[in-house]
Amino acid sequence: MDEFCYKARKDSVEYVRRMVNSILKPEQFGFRESFEGIYEDIPAFLIYDSEWCRVEFVYDGSERWSPPNIIVNYGRLHAPNRENFMEMKCIYWHLVWEPMAFLDGISAEEYATTKKGYKPDFVSPYWEKVLSDGENRAEWHLRMHRAIWEYYGMRLFELFDLRRPDLWERYRHFLKEFYRIYGWNPSPNYPFPPPWEVC
């Protein structure tokens, strides 16, 4: 990686760190920064760990977001810092929508009918700001996750806790049922694990 490219990626990671620490304040929820990812061929990212789970914050400066966005993924403590997607045996990193539906007690059948539209009421104002032109999407995205953390409390983090395999198995069953009802069928050449193969 040349010096200019490294500096640009370092600046991206510093932007993520500044936004995460000032808005989300992960230390208040028991998280500490554990990994900084600056690679030539993937977006810059930071990972924070707690005793329950990991959270990944990915800089998204793609053309669809201006100003840049920050994508938030959740993983269990065995989630790798960055897997080779072509060698994935299961899905380690997860967006928050399916976990929220599960925690809200939404059935797989109900979720299959609201897949594109389900969001808890308290999330909608933040999500509208994330999608609005001219807004600081990263700020509103992180404010939304702060509201999610405050609303669900430890229930969200414990879903990913390796010490709660019973809860994780119920979540896996929820996903498998949802995708069965939704009718998701990968092609024979689909290179990734099916979306219910979470770990």
pLDDT in tens, 144-177: 999 999 999 999 999 999 999 999 999 999 999 9
pTM of the model: 0.91
The residue-averaged pLDDT of 25-43 equals 90
- % residues pLDDT > 90 (the chain): 58
Average pLDDT, whole number, for the chain? 88
- More confidently predicted of 124 and 64: 124
pLDDT at 66: 65
pLDDT in tens, 41-68: 778 899 999 999 999 999 987 655 567 8
pLDDT at 107: 93
Question: Would you call 61 exposed, middle or buried from its count of C-beta atoms within 10 A (0-12, 13-18, 19+)?
Answer: middle
- More confidently predicted of 62 and 101: 101
SS3 95: coil
pLDDT at 97: 93
Backbone angles phi, psi at 155, to 5 degrees: -60, -40
pLDDT at 130: 83
In this predicted structure, the answer to whether residue 18 has a pLDDT above a threshold of 80 is yes
Structure tokens given for 106: 């939404």
In this predicted structure, the answer to whether residue 2 has a pLDDT above a threshold of 90 is no
In this predicted structure, the answer to whether residue 134 has a pLDDT above a threshold of 80 is no
The residue-averaged pLDDT of 110-128 equals 83
In this predicted structure, the answer to whether residue 23 has a pLDDT above a threshold of 80 is yes
pLDDT at 189: 84
